[in-house]
Amino acid sequence: MGGKVWTDAEERYFWRVTISQSPKRVGFDLANMEKSWDQLARDLQDAMGIDARRNYSGTMLCMFANCSLHLFVLKFTPQDPH
């Protein structure tokens, strides 16, 4: 898998801000207004400003969230063929 590694600033913003307002938010973050992945990508782009190492998209953030959360939780179900 290629591409640039995320910086500490990108990671921190993603987990503290993006996820807490995303459709994947849980717990206390459910009190936050839900934003679309596309809006969250624009917010992240604005937050990173000239230090942005890539052009963020809603699809990219959604895929990163899904893959990351699945790996962190490591919850396997009977329907999961892996």
**Domain layout of the chain by residue ranges:** 8-73
- Are 13 and 43 within 8 A, CB to CB? no
Give the percent of the chain with pLDDT over 90. Answer: 41
What is the per-residue pLDDT for 79? 54
What is the per-residue pLDDT for 72? 60
- Are 53 and 9 within 8 A, CB to CB? no
What is the per-residue pLDDT for 48? 95
- Are 7 and 20 within 8 A, CB to CB? no
pLDDT digits (tens, 9 = 90+) for 23-48: 988 888 899 999 999 999 999 999 99
What is the per-residue pLDDT for 74? 55
